[in-house]
Structure 1
């Protein structure tokens, strides 16, 4: 009977986590694209990445705050509160677009990002439901939920613009109406989760955050996830502007972003399986290979123009490469660290990853405005190679055998 109760609770939790991630990704695709286009209009192309960067910083802050809240009050309460903040953010951002207040838009994006922070932490919540040998796949399944956003997010831009127009709002307010509805769905999904037990207070034998940070696997996972995020964000956020300058319309932008988002999320279970089967390091190396290939396609000689097919292929490979580094890095953390050790660092790891990508959003706009899309692509490829020397060293399992005290606590 207890097994049936545990299985039912696990299924309810997974369904709620999947629903929250799917709805959040759907809203963030449109909101990020709209905020970048508005930034280009109001702040010039040079600073076009600022509103999107605000959303990414909100995600970083959200992961820190909500991870701590999960430890004290449980997953359901933390996720519900994060998604309620996202509802406020969507309303504020939509009002900002209607009134032409770019600073208010930036604030609304920060609040939307807080809700996205909860969605990002959902993969760790899913991993906690399964034994170590299935945690990579659990992470991959949750990341896969973003496929819903990949399919619907970009393709809702035109219909949502029509709805906004009928309501007497600017076209680019449409994606924020979608975000408002999606955040409401997330609140309902998280409320449907079974009440979870809050984490116990730290015991005498539990590792401190400083001790966990010294574990070799943490630095490998962190650097790999940051590098993949930087490369992906730089190209993803600036591709709509690049396409706009080459006279592609919103429909073409939606097609390219759909291909990119499918690459980011649809193959996540496969990435999780590869992480479980061959290890997180191998998955990360595969991802780096795809990121570099994507950059080669994106920076093809200018004589070939800015063909739609080339951009679709490049952004798809960019998405899958990011997925492998993200899932592989997350799998390293979940498989090498105990739940107590992971709670000590997971919020900080995600915060650093998203803070770095916020910087990438701004810097990418500056690079595109002052140089070219090809230069930006090459720079992204170079960044993606940064973790390679670390990945070539001996595996963390070997290093942990000689680690100081508390090595057993961090597995």
Structure 2
């Protein structure tokens, strides 16, 4: 990704941090509002569709960004992706105003394209530092999601009140916040230093065959499946038990805090004890979170916030540990392309969880979602434990 001065490095990390924070803020509010809109209009069985649109868009965005970054550089690729996200948020806002499913889902898909670039920002930060500091470097950008974890849910109820004051549907308010946040992310990307493109001549190997890719890929897919399935159905579970957006926002804040706020700790664990220990610990925490959700599916002031916090932090450990291994073990010539491909596979796989979670919820309730999530988290441990090395 090129050599930068200390000032240029700080500027790059700051712009990457701001873009991720704003995209997360947009995605949290937009996805939650859209899930509730679809559940009210089409039933809980289809309430996973917004999550599917988001993850498919993010997968395509990650794949595309990974291919374009070596040629066009950080500034151009992220600026273009965030501009597409801002346009998508506007389309989704039109869908929220009219309660129309097609523009709502199309808009979420476009926001996901920009979010794919935001996801790769962690690798861009890691590339600016020596190997022994890459876990902490990428975790600092992951930590930017804390802003979205706090701001996204906290803004939902006030934004809904403002929308109602304008005579709009209440749930269009959080979507309007997404419009402003994605526009801010596009502005932040403009502050990235100019970059001289580096063309990569080395052929790209299939991700499953690239050294050090199979282990983090399996773990990150499992973590994403578990996290998306349980998180997607939690707002519907709470609404079915008579809770409003304030309670939904509180529980999701606990989850998103777990996903992002402790990322620097995960980075230090990865640098100190290695990616394998970090990943295995994360899978164990994910299994514990689903057991907690199964034991207390209606405890909105105790069990559920704890379960969702553990769900978030288990995912964070796997995400940071797996990403650290990809940053450490991949050859520089193919790194960004393989990283983008891995992220695309992870997000594509989680689309199944987004859609399947709605069907599981309709067929067996929140308990069935939690059980399936726990099984998904535990299965990779046997596979990963059978391999030696970090």
TM-score (norm 1): 0.92
Structure 1 residue 306 and structure 2 residue 299: aligned? Answer: yes
Instruction: Name the structure 2 match of 1:139.
Output: 138
CA displacement, residues 363-388 of structure 1 (integer Å, 9 cap, x when unaligned): 00000011021111011010012221
How does 1:146-295 map onto structure 2 within 5 Å? 146-202=145-201, 206=202, 208-210=204-206, 213-295=208-290
Aligned residue pairs total 388
Tell me the distance in 2 between the aligned counterparts of 1:143 and 1:301.
29
Cα deviation for residue 197 of structure 1 reads 2.1
Structure 2 CA distance for aligned equivalents of residues 93 and 158 of structure 1? 18
Distance in structure 2 (CA, Å) of the matches to 1:395 and 1:176: 47
Distance 1:175 1:339 in 2: 40
Secondary structure class of the residue paired with 1:339: coil
Number of the residue aligned with 2:70 = 71
The match for 1:114 is 113
Q: Distance in 2 between matches of 1:275 and 1:162?
A: 43
- Give the corresponding residue for 1:402: none
Q: Measure how far apart 1:277 and its partner are.
A: 0.7
Q: Which stretch shifts more, 38-47 or 13-22?
A: 38-47
Give the CA deviation at 1:220.
0.6
Q: Which residue of 1 aligns with 2:53?
A: 54
SS at match of 1:299: helix
Q: Give yes or no for contact 2:204–2:338 (8 Å, CA) kept in 1.
A: no
* Cα deviation digits, residues 79-130 of structure 1 (max 9, x gap): 0000000111010000011122111111011001111111101001111101
Runs of 5+ in structure 1 lacking a partner? 398-411
Secondary structure in structure 2 of the residue aligned to 1:385:
helix
Task: Measure, in 2, the Cα distance between the counterparts of 1:134 and 1:393.
Answer: 28
Q: Which residue of 2 aligns with 1:125?
A: 124
The 8 Å contact of residues 96 and 171 in structure 2, kept in 1 or not, is answered as yes
TM-score (norm 2): 0.96
1:47, 1:396 → 2: CA distance?
43
Structure 2 unaligned runs (5+)? none
Is 1:284–1:329's contact at 8 Å kept on the other side of the alignment?
yes
Question: How many Å separate the matches in 2 of 1:338 and 1:395?
Answer: 21
2:200–2:334: 8 Å Cα contact kept in structure 1?
A: no
1:8-19 correspondence to structure 2 within 5 Å: 8-19=7-18
> Any residues of structure 2 matched to 1:316-327 within 5 Å, and which?
316-327=309-320
Paired with 2:109 and 2:322, the residues of 1 have a C-alpha distance of: 25
1:23 partnered with 2:22: yes
1:340 and 2:333 matched? yes
Cross-structure match for 1:406: none
- Paired with 1:301 and 1:331, the residues of 2 have a C-alpha distance of 34
Deviation of 1:255 (Å): 0.6
Superposed displacement of residue 396, structure 1:
5.2
User: Corresponding residue for 2:370?
Assistant: 377
Following superposition, the deviation at residue 169 of structure 1 comes to 1.6
Do 2:52 and 2:354's aligned partners in 1 also have CA atoms closer than 8 Å? yes
CA contact (8 A) 1:213 1:345 kept: no
CA contact (8 A) 2:254 2:308 kept: yes
Q: Give the C-alpha shift of residue 216 in structure 1.
A: 4.7
The residue that corresponds to 1:367 in the other structure is 360
Report the CA distance shift for 1:301/1:249 in structure 2 as closer, same or farther (over 3 A): closer
**For the residues of structure 1 that align with 2:47 and 2:301, how far apart are their CA atoms?**
22
Residues 8-42 of structure 1, C-alpha deviations (whole Å, 9 max, x = no match): 11000000000000111111111110111011112
